Structure 1
Amino acid sequence: MSRLHALARRAFLLSALSPLSARAEAEPGWAALRQGGIVLFRHAIAPGGGDPPGMRLGDCSTQRNLDAAGRAQARRIGAAFRERGIAVGAVLASAWCRAQDTAALAFPGRVAGEPAFDSFFADRSTVAAQTEAARRLLRGWSGPGALVVVTHQVNITALTGIFPASGEGVVLRRAEGGDLEVAGRIQP
């Protein structure tokens, strides 16, 4: 077998198995959520990056927002929780419309704003203080049920070192000693 043929065969096998491996990777995350874990979701699909010039919180018409695919993705997040019987204790979200809308579509009537999870993409001067405030809040979670947070890539990366895709969840659980560790990742 030629080297090119072997590489093509390996790529095919990996792509054929990827849905299985993604599902297997997600299961520890779902298990942690059943035990009152925490999930940090990046808001669902909102095309573009950052916000337009003149963006104002509280005025969604000035922000980058979810598109139809993002709204459908947000609904799938909530459906996945319901299908798996995950009890949700609280839902916190950034003040940005795309985070609020993701949370509201996934978990209607459950969303509370939390400034510790607001985006610092455009103003990096708040990274350290905001990330520490978010860590304190997350460490203080004791349920009952899972804590769902809908925030932004920059916030999740600062907290976990992971760069999540739109709508992806990074699941945390309490480690020995009280700190938080990554338990898994879930896709909507």
Structure 2
Amino acid sequence: MRIGYARTSTTDQEAGLAAQRRDLEAFGCDWLFSEQVSGTLTVRPELEAAIDYLRRGDALVVCKPDRLARSTADLLAFVERIKAKGCELVILSMGGQTLDTSSPTSKLMLSMLAAVAEFERDLMLERQREGIAKAKAEGRYLGRKPTARAQAEEVQKLAAEGVSPTEIAKRLGIGRTSVYRCLGKVAA
């Protein structure tokens, strides 16, 4: 059985998640797990559910290695967990080819691709840090505006009217935790 896993880092990446689901379905995945959470989180519930769902002989299918792990070490740890269950990992985005962990050559290729992806991410973060430092030095970087706190009065007004925190968050386009923070129920 082929078990698909799709992930985007944020909830505003709907098109990316839909594209992954489409590709996984086209590959013939029997079951799909998907979530919209950062890959840096130590626990990703849907990924854990997908791995738990695997049975001997199954394959976990992802579109790209970075949808599964952020570092080479993490990717290889996932490969070992999957192999320990008697299963394989299949990656679709290999220039029209798929890459699986069924052979030593594939595992080598996977390790190299993961290392390149990790290197690219590190370079991107380094450039981002340099850009922020330069902007701060020039007095142009002020950080993100605190959107929720700017709406604190509206949050409190809606709460006083009996509107639930979840509904307040939807109406104002802010996170539910931000609603609680504006209401003084969560430490800043």
Q: Same fold (TM over 0.5)?
A: no
**Normalising to structure 2: TM-score of the pair?**
0.30
Bigger helix share: 2
Larger-Rg structure: 2
| Larger RCO (CA under 8 A, 6+ residues apart) | 1
